[in-house]
Amino acid sequence: MPRTSAPHRPRPETAQPSVTPDRWPELLGGRTPTPVQAGAIPALLAGRDVITTARTGSGKTLAFLIPAAARGIGMSAARGMRPEVLVITPTRELAVQIRDVARELGMPAGRITGGITPAQTRSEASGKGLIAGTPGRLKDLVNKGELDLRGLRYVVLDEADELLSLGFLKDVGDILRAAQRAAAPTHLQMAMASATFPAAIRSVAEQFMKSPERIDIMPDPTVAARADEDILGGATGATHLLVNTSRADVLDVTAEHVRDALKAPGGCVVIFCRTKHLVKRRAEQLQAMLPGELVSPLQGNMDQKKRERTMQQLRDGQSRVLIATDIAGRGIDLPEVRIVIHMDVAATAEDHVHRSGRTARAGRPGVNLVLLIPEQRALWQSIRRSLPAPLHPPVTREESQIDKEIQEKQGGGGNRGGASSGRSQGGRSQEGSRQGPGRSSETRGQSRPQGQPRDQGQARGSRDGGRSESRSGTGAGRVGPQPARRRR
């Protein structure tokens, strides 16, 4: 069980920060602070709790790490697994990324996630002033008494909207309650950072914080959000486009846009699909269509070593095409993503924002492209209505021409709230599909009704002789609410 009653005592050894708090901009290495950094860092340096919302790629990671480093929090080695700084993240990849950024600031940092053995976890996290980890593994080690929270001074929830979604809410709440009890009577400083912060969970987040200061970097700074509105950031610097296509042609259209984006050396492309099964199949098909390029899949069935090797190949330029489920939309930072391609419409507006934020980062240009098939038009209409204006692609005539019969055959795709987000019950698998392998919509015989004309708004490069999606499983898929399955 977690230790909860020990009084708070200052750590006997304190490392000196590399700069004094008033000189924190030096930790940016000469870069100009981004708006979120300029707003959040002074407030956190003053010891206040902060909730910050800003688009992806805006520098949130340094915004919450620099205040700790500048005050010497987490800068000294710990005894065992007793960190001063704890960063809770929804994904393994994001935990690794935060650990690496913290190390660049001179902080002894480790991570606690799934995919590594208990011995590796002890080696990775022991003696570290900062630990980044995922909720399930962190809670497990807290309950076992292996992760000692009595030395904590600073806690961060990164990608807070995802962490406080239904799947992670209980684990995160248990960790925070244990941390606050261990720190009592001293106040445990907290920061929450995200690209989106839905209104439904803001009140839950604030119960763990003391008079948190809100720092919202909005796409339009002249428009203030009401208290009950959702706040959405996103890749506001990208060019947002939509191309109407069909299930039969979506692979060809994708391949053509990838070729165009990668004509010049360097850079990469990120492609999003709805399920693990589709990622695997489409990666194989695109690999055959893109000779000379390494197409890298990323999905939840991959072991941790393979996932890390995949990301390293992309960062090293050995691979320039990533095809992934929505897990890759949370926290993965790749250099110069020239285009994000949505082969399937995202399940929610929040997921679309996070996908889109993989491109146009750190002031670079980028393109965010939605490939829209008729079966997903109703779902897209609900997503579009929930996006902030800067993320809207130009409206096309075809996208509003919704055939209700087609949507019903695909499982009621127009219902935003019931769209399959790919998270299994309990939220621990972030990209699990409701349908098992081999059960795509195509194998259920849901092809285009006979006599229905092909979409007139198809993208350039679509070809009748291409690979039929009814064979390859591009997945209009079951994107709406599904009836409960009877146990057999």
- Exposed/middle/buried for residue 488 (C-beta within 10 Å: 0-12, 13-18, 19+): exposed
Phi, psi of 86 (to 5 degrees): -125, 125
Query: Cα separation of 170 and 138, whole Å?
Result: 12
Among 1-10, 127-136, 234-243, the minimum mean pLDDT is found in 1-10
Kindly state the average pLDDT of the residues 167-183: 91
Which residue would you say has higher pLDDT here, 119 or 464?
A: 119
Mean predicted lDDT score pLDDT of the chain: 78
Distance between start and end Cα atoms, the chain? 38
In a 3-state reduction of DSSP, which class is residue 261? Answer: helix
Query: Cα separation of 179 and 176, whole Å?
Result: 5
Q: Is the pLDDT of residue 422 over 80?
A: no
In a 3-state reduction of DSSP, which class is residue 130? Answer: strand
Q: Is the pLDDT of residue 91 over 80?
A: yes
Among 98-102, 242-246, 347-351, the minimum mean pLDDT is found in 347-351
Amino acid, res. 2: P
Contact 197, 53 (CB under 8 A): yes
Helix (H) or strand (E) holding 232: strand 231-232
- pLDDT for 28 equals 87
Domains of the chain: 21-232 (3.40.50.300), 239-418+425-444+452-472 (3.40.50.300)
User: What are the pLDDT digits (tens) for 4-22?
Assistant: 333 333 333 334 445 677 7
Phi/psi region, residue 359 (left: phi>0; alpha: psi -120 to 50; beta: rest), is: beta
Query: Cα separation of 67 and 73, whole Å?
Result: 8
Query: Cα separation of 107 and 237, whole Å?
Result: 32
Contact 150, 117 (CB under 8 A): no
Query: Cα separation of 277 and 433, whole Å?
Result: 8
314-344 core/surface letters (b: 16 or more CB in 10 A; e: else): beeeebbbbbbbbbbbbbbbbeebbbbbbbb
- pLDDT for 360 equals 83
Q: Which tokens hold the place of 65?
A: 């790490």
Strand segments (E) across 97-207: 109-112, 130-133, 154-158, 189-194, 196-197
* Residue 117 CB contacts under 8 Å (≥ 6 apart), including other chains: none
Cis peptide before 118 (omega within 30 of 0): no
pLDDT band of 205, cuts 50, 70, 90: confident
pLDDT band of 343, cuts 50, 70, 90: very high
Distances in whole angstroms, Cα of residue 346 to Cα of each of 87, 116, 250, 470: 27, 30, 16, 21
Q: Is the pLDDT of residue 224 over 50?
A: no
